[in-house]
Structure 1
């Protein structure tokens, strides 16, 4: 299996298939590259598609340090540099969107051809001036404790919330397997950091073309979040997937793949 060392004793698992413009898929918190299994065959026809497991996630090294969004963005930058990738398109789902925005903040847009943001808020935290955030402080405390003391029970309720329709048992089973690969210490550490990051002040600096993909069902993230991003990121367009919730790439894969492919080819 292919691994790349981004730091001493820190290896990231990745899949790399196809040729053409490199499109890198970046998963959400606790998730993995396996969630993009329905993208590989479509995108490899015209693009170089790269699926990446972030530090500590999926099949990547289970290290106990460096679990912040900013550091994941640094890992991504090192990965891109070591792989010699040029003019990349970054697809960030959920927390992966934060990794994309942090990458742009730290390293600029010179090597980024475009970005795709999938179902994420400007910040997950309910700040005093941002009431549309997902979590307030008491909720965050509860989630941190659930991850430590009742992770499987919590995920049993959380995973179905990512989907508009009822999840088949077979699908739920592999998702639970993926989301419990992280040690609980890592899972709670990155949950905290990804909840309290806030990118609202950075959107005015984003000039790279941006495609915003949001699910109509609002079990987790409201469409309003996509409208907010569309308003504040200058060169952006919003696409709402009517039969999806948090995972349009799994819920409406053919539609999602076509929409994103058209966007990438337009760059």
Structure 2
């Protein structure tokens, strides 16, 4: 385990294990690097695997500043520079994918070898020309109701969200344990980046992802239902779809062996 001091003085927590081609695993909203615990050992057998806690998350520094996708992407860029990484595969789960797209928007694909997207849409909100919003239907009113509930009764909205991340509802003690990890992100930071992500439209960035990209999506996802992965494959220059039949929003946790084998094979190729 280690910390990187970012340009604004914030300590960014990361872990670095294994050797070989570099892979950076970027977690989802209010989550942290502990959620990759079923994957790091298998992937680090043949790769150098870096996990991190985005600012405000997990063991990284807490601040009211910089909770945007753009800043998170800049923080990832500083980490790559600090570790002198080239030809990297960026793997993003949920919000982590949005961070990758923001990274590509700002820095291009020059330092990347490949990318992997895990169950994320490039646009959360409904639109007349958009069929894959959050939960299949997510309006500005839904966003406001969620934010109000989050601010004043956080467990009442986050615990159902956690349950919805899985194809099969986990036991209450599992939901409570996941919630405890998400609670490490202050509410002000969590809401700031949620709003930023909700109003983002990253569809124009997709053609700029010119490296091979693996789309790892759960066939039973309640968070992003439908064949979003098929649509993305048509927008990305070099995309391959890997659909997980027994998973919802978190195939790396719901089907870890299959996930590790699929991502490992992609990394070797």
TM-score normalised to structure 2 length: 0.96
Q: Is the 8 A contact 1:147 1:187 kept in 2?
A: no
1:206 shift after superposition: 1.9
Does residue 34 (structure 1) correspond to residue 34 (structure 2)? The answer is yes
Q: Deviations over 1:229-256 (max 9, x none)?
A: 1111020011110000000000000000
Give, in whole Å, the separation in 1 of the partners of 2:217 and 2:163: 17
| 1:76-115 matches, cutoff 5 A | 76-115=76-115
Q: Residue 235 in 1 paired to residue 242 in 2?
A: no
Give the Cα separation in 1 of the matches to 2:83 and 2:164. Answer: 36
Say whether residues 1:151 and 2:154 are aligned partners: yes
**Correspondences of 1:180-195 after superposition (within 5 Å):** 180-195=183-198
Q: Secondary structure at the match of 1:239?
A: strand
Provide the rounded CA distance (Å) in 2 between the counterparts of 1:117 and 1:144: 26
Does the 8 Å CA contact 1:18/1:45 hold for their aligned counterparts? yes
The answer for unaligned runs of 5 or more in structure 2 is: none
Deviation of residue 205 (structure 1)?
2.1
Please give the alpha-carbon distance, in whole angstroms, between the structure 1 residues aligned to 2:177 and 2:79. Answer: 27
Alignment of 1:13-162 (within 5 A): 13-134=13-134, 135-162=138-165
Q: Partner of 2:241: helix, strand, or coil?
A: strand
CA contact (8 A) 1:122 1:225 kept: no
- Aligned-pair CA distance for 1:132: 2.6
Which of 216, 227, 234 is residue 224 of structure 1 equivalent to? 227
2-structure distance, mates of 1:95, 1:106: 17
After superposition, what is the alpha-carbon deviation per residue over 1:114-170, rounded to whole angstroms, capped at 9, x for unaligned? 000000112112133224312210001011111100111212211110001131344
Q: How many residues align?
A: 266
Contact 2:150 2:156 in 1 (8 A): no
Contact map agreement 2:221 2:247 (CA 8 A) in 1:
no
Deviates more, 1:228-237 or 1:198-207: 198-207
2:268 is the alignment partner of 1:265:
yes
Measured against aligned partners, the alpha-carbon deviations of 1:211-240 in whole angstroms (never above 9, x if no partner) come to 000001131112421111111102001111
2:168 matches 1:165: yes
- Name the CA distance, whole Å, in 2 between partners of 1:138 and 1:228: 26
Contact 2:126–2:133 (CA<8 Å) still a contact in 1? yes
